[in-house]
């Protein structure tokens, strides 16, 4: 029998080569995911099919910026995980457009994985698989990463320059939510012929018939000497809709009845009420997600720009609600209140609170705040009547608790709980509460993971039934991203370190000795012990009682007590 030649063997192997395709599209608003996937896939097939290859798997990220590393893209990270499996189902990976796949130094951080697991990476720019030993291939891919980053930066510069020019010269409304007191109306066709042909139109701000009067009243009251919190309470008392209530879709997570101090402050400091359009009040900064792992890339943070960087329209763009003089007068009043000329004597030391962070209010379950009054430590929960009404909570305006009233009882209870006669019951209570807390967290995470799996099964069934592939792919990507996040949270739950009853008893005996020593200790040392024990206490003012709870088993370390250890 005659054996086939080596070239024929290679050709036969190439004909059986199975490929996984990877592609990416940034946003649905600017690009059509279906069209982008189609041309990237067509380009990939044009590379592999003439050489006998066939694409058997697809990994396509939708609505993911190119600046996001592969580890944080749902489908790209799934492809990397598939590389690790010997039963991956494909022999090589093909990328239809390197500009879409790699950004900056992402190629140099990703390709070593393909090389390690022995999976060739094909790109059209090199006419086939990338050769790890070929310097030209490495240079070409590095250049494409740099070009991709440069293209993104050029787009940002062009867009920002255009928006600044349009704001300054035309005062055009550039989108976003209208300020409280204004509403949007049609302002004619879009000046860009292509966008006008698509039916897009301009919009402009006009005063709201009711809420514009509220804005004028706020400025008049503030300039007249009333405080921000006083104004917010008065508006809530009068039943005036807050910005969240006036626009329920704006902040669905907020209570939409009561006014907050921040809402009044935002209105007072918003220069658009003078009738001029203002842009560039905020900027987007890209900061490292983890300074110890640069490969994870950056995350976007919104930050305020200095006032000298704001871009103002050269003329009035809409009807003003306040004059420029009144607006400047309000800013001067605000500046005097927050940064007056008086000097304040600094505290010598941080005021100590024994119950720092561990005392809860029995009315609203919020943490009580420390408050120093008449040279004594207090804990308080301040809850204005209007907010209590809005949240449907029967809560006094202020709940005060003097630390000295209960600290003796707390110390007595603590030393009793760790006494030899109570060690056994204390062990049982602490173990039960710690296990309940841990099991509840794990159970909730597993339930949410199961829900994600169920949704993925439904989406795949819908895809097989002929549903729109673009929408289903978006749903699948979002669900897989949520599932990966939940798996990370589940993996980050610290394992319960079970301690033998004898060992725990010895530990609590030692802790009991420490508790006796802390009775006469400094409040800061008491707070440290309470924190180490995971102690939280709920104070019920109407009953003049408190309920302790262990949030975890004690992780006791040496605590230096003034006067002893």
Q: Domain spans of the chain?
A: 6-152, 182-277+313-338
pLDDT of residue 92: 95
Task: Give the whole-angstrom CA distance, residue 389 versus residue 105.
Answer: 55
463's CB contacts (< 8 A; 6+ apart) are 469, 472
Q: How far apart are CA 55 and CA 37, in angstroms?
A: 14
Task: Write out pLDDT tens, residues 234-243.
Answer: 898 888 888 8
Q: Is residue 277 a contact partner of residue 315, using CB atoms and an 8 Å limit?
A: no
Which of 121 and 432 is assigned the larger pLDDT? Answer: 121
Is the pLDDT at 424 greater than 70? The verdict is: no
In the numeric block, which tokens belong to residue 344?
């304040």
Whether residue 46 has pLDDT greater than 90: yes
Give the three-state DSSP class for 175: coil
E strand segments, 103-213: 121-123, 128-129, 182-189, 201-207
Residue 524 reports pLDDT greater than 80:
no
| Nearest C-alpha neighbor of 67 from the set 140, 162, 151 | 151
* Residue predicted with more confidence, 563 or 18: 18
**Amino acid 6: pLDDT:** 38
Q: pLDDT higher for 334 or 374?
A: 334
pLDDT higher than threshold 70 for residue 310: yes
- CA–CA dist 154, 221 (Å, integer): 47
| Contacts with 10 (C-beta within 8 Å, 6 or more apart), sequence order | none
182-277+313-338: same fold as 6-152? no
Q: What is the rounded distance in angstroms from the CA atom of residue 150 to the CA atom of residue 103?
A: 9
Of 154-163, 283-292, 332-341, 416-425, the poorest mean pLDDT is in 416-425
Strand pairing category for 54-62 and 182-189 = unpaired
Mean pLDDT of 8-37: 71
Are 485 and 388 in contact by the 8 Å Cβ rule? The answer is no
Reported as a pLDDT band with limits 50, 70 and 90, residue 112 is very high
- The answer to whether the beta carbons of residues 8 and 45 sit under 8 Å apart is no
Which numeric CATH code is attached to 182-277+313-338? 3.90.1750.20
Higher-pLDDT residue of 75 and 478 is 75
| Predicted local confidence at residue 325, as pLDDT | 92
Among the listed residues 82, 143, 137, 136, the one whose alpha carbon sits nearest the alpha carbon of residue 114: 82
**Residue 121 confidence (pLDDT) above 70:** yes
Number of Cβ within 10 Å of residue 387's Cβ equals 21
CA atoms of 233 and 397, how far apart (whole Å): 12
The answer to whether 20 touches 58, Cβ cutoff 8 Å, is yes
**CA 381 remoteness from chain centre:** 27
Task: Answer positive or negative: Cα dihedral of 96, 98, 103, 107.
Answer: positive
* Half-sphere exposure of residue 189: CA atoms within 13 angstroms, side-chain side: 9
User: The domain at 6-152 falls in which architecture?
Assistant: 3-Layer(aba) Sandwich (3.40)
What pLDDT shows up at residue 4?
A: 43
The residue among 231 and 5 whose pLDDT is bigger is 231
The pLDDT assigned to 554 comes to: 44
Q: What percent of the chain is predicted at pLDDT more than 90? A: 18
> Is 120 a residue whose pLDDT tops 80?
yes
Whose structure tokens read 């589940």?
490
In this prediction, residues 228-235 reach a mean pLDDT of 89
Q: How many Å apart are CA 514 and CA 512, to the nearest integer?
A: 5
Q: Which residues are 378's β-sheet partners? A: 371, 402
Contact at 8 Å (CB) between 17 and 91? yes
Q: Which two tokens stand for residue 254?
A: 């907020």
510 versus 155: which is more confidently predicted? 155
* Residue 120: closest CA among 141, 93, 150, 100: 93
DSSP at 28:
T
Average pLDDT along the chain: 77
pLDDT for position 248:
73
Q: What is the DSSP letter of 382?
A: E
Q: Tens of pLDDT along 313-353?
A: 888 888 999 998 999 999 899 888 755 444 444 444 467 77
**Residues contacting 180, CB < 8 A, separation 6+:** 211, 214, 215, 243, 246, 247, 263, 267
Is residue 127 scored above 70 in pLDDT? Answer: yes
């Amino acid at each position: 029998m005659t054996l086939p030649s080596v070239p024929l063997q290679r050709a036969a192997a190439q004909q059986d080569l199975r490929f996984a395709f990877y592609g990416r599209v940034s946003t649905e608003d600017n690009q059509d995911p279906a069209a982008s996937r189609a041309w990237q896939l067509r380009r990939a097939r044009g590379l592999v099919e003439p050489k006998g290859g066939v694409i058997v798997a697809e990994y396509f990220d939708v609505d993911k910026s190119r600046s996001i590393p592969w580890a944080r893209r749902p489908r790209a990270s799934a492809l990397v995980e598939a590389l690790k499996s010997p039963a991956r189902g494909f022999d090589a990976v093909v990328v239809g457009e390197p500009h879409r796949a790699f950004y900056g130094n992402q190629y140099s951080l990703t390709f070593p994985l393909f090389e390690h697991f022995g999976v060739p990476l094909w790109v059209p720019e090199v006419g086939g698989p990338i050769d790890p030993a070929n310097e030209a291939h490495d240079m070409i891919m590095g250049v494409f990463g740099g070009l991709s980053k440069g293209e993104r930066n050029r787009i940002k510069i062009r867009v920002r320059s255009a928006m600044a020019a349009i704001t300054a010269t035309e005062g055009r409304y550039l989108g976003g939510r209208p300020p409280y007191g204004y509403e949007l109306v049609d302002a004619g066709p879009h000046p860009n012929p292509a966008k006008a042909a698509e039916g897009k139109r301009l919009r402009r701000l006009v005063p709201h018939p009711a809420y514009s009067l509220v804005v004028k009243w706020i400025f008049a009251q503030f300039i007249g000497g009333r405080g921000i919190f006083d104004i917010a309470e008065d508006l809530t008392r009068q039943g005036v809709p807050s910005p969240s209530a006036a626009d329920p879709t704006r902040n669905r997570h907020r209570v939409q009845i009561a006014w907050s101090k921040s809402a009044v402050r935002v209105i007072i400091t918003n220069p658009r009420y003078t009738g001029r359009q203002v842009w560039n009040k905020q900027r987007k900064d890209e900061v490292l997600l983890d300074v110890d792992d640069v490969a994870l890339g950056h995350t976007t943070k919104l930050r305020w720009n200095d006032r000298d960087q704001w871009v103002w329209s050269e003329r009035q763009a809409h009807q003003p609600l306040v004059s420029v003089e009144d607006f400047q007068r309000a800013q001067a009043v605000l500046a005097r209140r927050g940064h007056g000329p008086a000097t304040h004597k600094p505290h010598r030391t941080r005021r100590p609170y024994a119950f720092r962070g561990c005392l809860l209010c029995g009315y609203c379950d919020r943490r009580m705040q420390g408050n120093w009054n008449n040279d004594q430590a207090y804990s308080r929960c301040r809850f204005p009547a209007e907010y209590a009404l809005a949240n449907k909570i029967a809560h006094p305006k202020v709940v005060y608790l003097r630390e000295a009233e209960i600290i003796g009882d707390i110390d007595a209870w603590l030393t009793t709980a760790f006494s030899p006669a109570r060690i056994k019951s204390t062990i049982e209570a602490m173990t039960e509460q710690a296990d309940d807390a841990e099991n509840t967290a794990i159970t909730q995470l597993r339930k949410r993971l199961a829900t994600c799996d169920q949704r993925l099964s439904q989406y795949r069934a819908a895809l097989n039934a002929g549903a729109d592939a673009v929408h289903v792919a978006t749903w699948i990507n979002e669900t897989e991203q949520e599932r990966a996040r939940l798996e990370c949270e589940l993996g980050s739950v610290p394992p319960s370190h079970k301690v033998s009853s004898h060992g725990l008893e010895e530990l609590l005996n030692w802790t009991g000795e420490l508790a006796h020593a802390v009775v006469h200790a400094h409040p800061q040392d008491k707070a440290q012990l309470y924190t180490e024990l995971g102690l939280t206490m709920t104070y019920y003012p109407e009953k003049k009682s408190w309920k302790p709870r262990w949030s975890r088993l004690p992780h006791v370390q040496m605590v230096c007590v003034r006067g002893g250890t």
